Structure 1
Amino acid sequence: MRMKILVAVGVAGLLATGCAEGSSSSDEKAKQPPAPTVLPQKLTKPNAEPRPSPADDAPFDENLAYELRLKTLKMAQATGKTTAECPKGLESKSGTRATCTTTYDGLKVVWNVTIGKKSGWSDNVVEFNAVPDKGILTSDGVARLLYGNYRDSIDHARCNDIPKAVLVPLNVKTKYSCEVVFKGRTPGGLAEPVRVTDAGPRVH
Structure 2
Amino acid sequence: MRTKRIVAAIGGLGLILTACGVGSDDSAQDYSFPELPQAVANPVRQPSDLPMPWAQPGDVFHEVVASGLRGKTIDMANTDGETTARCPADLVLKDGAEAVCVSVFEGLEVEWDVIVGPASDAHGRPVQWSAEPRKGILTRDGAANQVYGDYSGPDLVRCSNIPKAVLVPMLGISGHSCQTVVDGKAGKPMPIEVGLVYPKLQCRHRTLEACVG
Fold equivalence (TM over 0.5): yes
- Amino acid in structure 1 at the alignment position of 2:36: L
CA distance in 2, matches of 1:63, 1:137: 25
Matches within 5 A, 1:137-176: 137-152=138-153, 154-176=154-176
Aligned to 2:195: 197
Aligned to 1:38: 35
Normalising by structure 1, we get a TM-score of: 0.72
Normalising by structure 2, we get a TM-score of: 0.69
CA distance in 2, matches of 1:201, 1:19: 26
**How far is the alpha carbon of 1:117 from its aligned partner?**
3.2
CA distance in 2, matches of 1:186, 1:84: 42
- Amino acid in structure 2 at the alignment position of 1:64: V
Size of the aligned set, in residue pairs, is 165
Aligned to 1:14: none
Structure 1 unaligned residues grouped into runs of 5+ = 1-17, 23-35, 120-124
Aligned to 1:31: none
Q: Any idea what SS the aligned residue of 2:62 has?
A: helix
CA distance in 2, matches of 1:101, 1:19: 46
Residues 158-202 of structure 1: CA deviation (Å, up to 9, x unaligned): 1110110000011111221111223x3422x41111110111211
Structure 2 unaligned residues grouped into runs of 5+ = 1-27, 121-125, 203-213
- Pick which of 134-143 and 85-94 moved more: 85-94
CA distance in 1, matches of 2:60, 2:30: 55
Is it true that 1:186 corresponds to 2:185 in the alignment?
yes
**How far is the alpha carbon of 1:157 from its aligned partner?**
1.2
The structure showing larger relative contact order (alpha-carbon pairs under 8 Å, at least 6 residues apart) is 1
Going from structure 1 to structure 2, the CA distance change for 1:38 and 1:197 (only over 3 Å counts) comes to: same
Percent of pairs identical after alignment?
A: 38
Report which of the two structures shows the higher radius of gyration computed on alpha carbons: 2
Aligned to 2:20: none
Aligned to 1:66: 67
Residues 68-107 of structure 1: CA deviation (Å, up to 9, x unaligned): 0100000001121111111103211111111101100110
